[in-house]
Amino acid sequence: MSRTAKPAAQPTQAAKPAATLSWKDRIPAEDYEELKSTFDIFDEDGSGSIDPEEISKILDELGLDKRNPFILSMILGLKEKNKPIAFPEFLDIICSKVGETKTKDGIRRVFSIYDKDENGIIDFEEFKAISKQLHENLTDDDLLELMHNASINSRTSSNEGFTFEEFYSIVAKFNK
């Protein structure tokens, strides 16, 4: 090689494709721990995986089909695999249905879950349903006050419901 010849450029770190972050890095630590605890409840035999029989047993014991259709759809997503599911796959199934609340797309997925009538606004009745699903004991007055305060603090167009952009603005403040 002559003195003027330059060696071939070596790839830099920046040139390498970014590795996909695991769900552990994409969801809040509390949510990750809660999902791990939930997985451990399903994994009754402590094998490190949930098999279809364990999922069926939990469905029967909890009677989830009568309580929460959204939770039921997530659990049925697990059952549809019809094979044992390890924790990383459990996270993929559950988190992909819910979305992550640290990205706009994830928040959009959450919004669409709550916007039951698909009119582009989460209104009082939908917030009331959310409150019941979360087992929060909020009165109608409590909910109205929460919505009013959110409207004032976030300068939304109305205190009677929130569009996706308004909902995103409110949720994004809590994610910082």
Architecture of domain 104-174: Orthogonal Bundle (1.10)
Q: Which residues of 34-58 are buried (b: 16+ CB within 10 A; e: fewer)?
A: ebeeebeebbeeeeebbbeebbeeb
User: Which residues of the chain fall below pLDDT 50?
Assistant: 1-19, 66
Architecture of domain 25-98: Orthogonal Bundle (1.10)
pLDDT number for residue 106? 77
pLDDT number for residue 97? 63
Same CATH topology for 25-98 and 104-174: the answer is yes
Residue 85: CB atoms within 10 Å? 24
Give me the residue spans of the domains in the chain. 25-98, 104-174
Query: Quick check: helix, strand or coil at residue 121?
Result: strand
Query: Quick check: helix, strand or coil at residue 97?
Result: helix
User: Could you read off the pLDDT of 53-93 as tens digits, one per residue?
Assistant: 887 777 677 665 545 555 666 667 777 777 888 888 888 87
Computed over every residue of the chain, the mean pLDDT equals 75
pLDDT number for residue 16? 39
- From residue 153, alpha-carbon distances to 143, 148, 157, 172 in Å are 15, 9, 11, 13
Please name the residues in contact with 73: beta carbons below 8 A apart, sequence gap of 6 or more.
97
The crossing angle, in degrees rounded to 10, of helices 164-174 and 140-154 is 90
pLDDT number for residue 140? 92
